[in-house]
Amino acid sequence: MISMSQLTLAIEENDPLLDSDISKEMLRQMRALDAYGMYEKWTPARILSPLILTKERKAEIPVIGDPDEVTMSRVKAYYNALSFLIEKQVGLMAIPMVNLTHEGFGRVVITVGKLVVVDKNLRDVHRFGFKTFEQMNEEANKIVNQAVALVKQYEAVAQL
């Protein structure tokens, strides 16, 4: 059953952040996962809206729970998108490795060569999302910028 807050978009259709690199790449990643072509007629705001957990949406998700396949695919799409953006900036292949248990705990590691540029523990993946669309963009930019700085600092390791 779809709740009312799930029907309401958490992103405005004309939000300028829809043109950001992370938004464009997330759309590409999400559409790649769409085996049945559901997203073909959806707007970018509608596709990305489930990543935004407003207070109302978060209240509908139980505190303890197991993530479903759709949520786990969103997590993987997000880190795939970050990897692509890192790779685009440094010119070296960035590989995401996402390890999640059925209970929603795990770890994400993104490597460039032998260099670990992102290492994040994941908890409560069934509640994966961001308070606002702006926060998603800011966090993605922060992670990408830190990863790029690490590659520049340890370029010899990244090229192994």
Answer whether 69's CB lies under 8 Å from 89's CB.
no
Answer whether 55's CB lies under 8 Å from 130's CB.
no
Answer whether 60's CB lies under 8 Å from 47's CB.
no
Percent of the chain with pLDDT over 70: 96
C-alpha torsion sign, points 99, 154, 81, 20: positive
Cα diameter, the chain: 52
Residue closest to 139 by CA, chosen among 12, 23, 6, 14: 23
Distance CA 126, CA 130 (A): 12
**Residue-range domain boundaries for the chain:** 15-158
pLDDT in tens, 107-146: 999 999 999 999 999 988 888 889 999 999 999 999 999 9
Listed ranges 4-18, 52-66, 142-156; the one with the highest mean pLDDT: 142-156
* pLDDT beyond 50 at 3: no
Over residues 83-101, the mean pLDDT reads 95
What class is the 15-158 domain?
Answer: mainly alpha
Over residues 63-86, the mean pLDDT reads 89
The residues, ordered by sequence, that sit 6+ positions from 8 with a Cβ below 8 Å of its Cβ are: none
pLDDT in tens, 10-20: 888 889 999 99
Percent of the chain with pLDDT over 90: 62
122 sits in which H/E element: strand 115-122
* pLDDT at residue 114 in the model: 96
Distance CA 37, CA 121 (A): 32
